[in-house]
Amino acid sequence: MSDEQLAVLRSPLRLAYTHTAGETSSRFLRGFLEGRILGCRCPVCDKVYVPLRANCPICVSPMTGEVELAHTGTITKFCIVNLPFAARNIEIPYVSASVLLDGADVPIFHLIQEIPYDEIRIGMRVQAVWEKPEERVPGLESIMHFRPTGEPDVEIDLFEDADA
């Protein structure tokens, strides 16, 4: 190593881009404006996927229709997060979890709130807490978080094969 000083330059970086969701993803995203979570069922392997997709990720069969999923589900995995959430002013620590919605075969990932982080557990039943209709956007952020339903926990072996 030489005796020369190293200089560090910090510069903000901004990337502007436009993304087109496509027909299938757009239907999924627009569902949130109506307070609906849309999935699709594979006609061959019979699995229900969320979000909507044009083809089954397992057998590549074209999906044939939409399934409206429940706003309730079960926590299959979770993590306690001790870093700030850039998009929301949220108390640290907070919990992010995989939630297997009733009627789906794959979970979605979302925040769990309205319960102390150290009381959250795998198998806990939760329900979506939605933004007011006039504040909804076409996306998962229309669900503010999930909260416990108060229902009994689900046995882990009933969902241990769910794709994460």
In a domain, 101, yes or no: yes
Question: DSSP 3-state assignment of 153?
Answer: coil
In a domain, 122, yes or no: yes
Question: DSSP 3-state assignment of 79?
Answer: strand
Summarised one tens digit per residue, pLDDT across range 29-74 is 999 999 999 999 999 999 999 998 899 988 899 998 899 999 999 9
pTM score of the predicted model: 0.84
Residue 112 contacts residue 120 (beta carbons within 8 Å): yes
Nearest 5°: the CA angle 95, 100, 104 is 155
In a domain, 13, yes or no: no
Specify the number of domains making up the chain.
Answer: 1
In a domain, 6, yes or no: no
Higher pLDDT, 84 or 137: 137
- pLDDT of res. 20: 83
Structural domain range at position 87: 23-158
In a domain, 16, yes or no: no
State the sign of the Cα–Cα–Cα–Cα dihedral 137, 28, 160, 102.
Answer: positive
State the sign of the Cα–Cα–Cα–Cα dihedral 146, 126, 45, 160.
Answer: positive
In a domain, 97, yes or no: yes
In a domain, 71, yes or no: yes
Summarised one tens digit per residue, pLDDT across range 85-140 is 776 788 889 999 999 999 999 999 999 999 999 999 999 999 999 999 999 999 99
Note if the bond before 51 is cis, omega within 30 degrees.
Answer: yes
In a domain, 10, yes or no: no
Average pLDDT rounded to a whole number, residues 135-161? 89
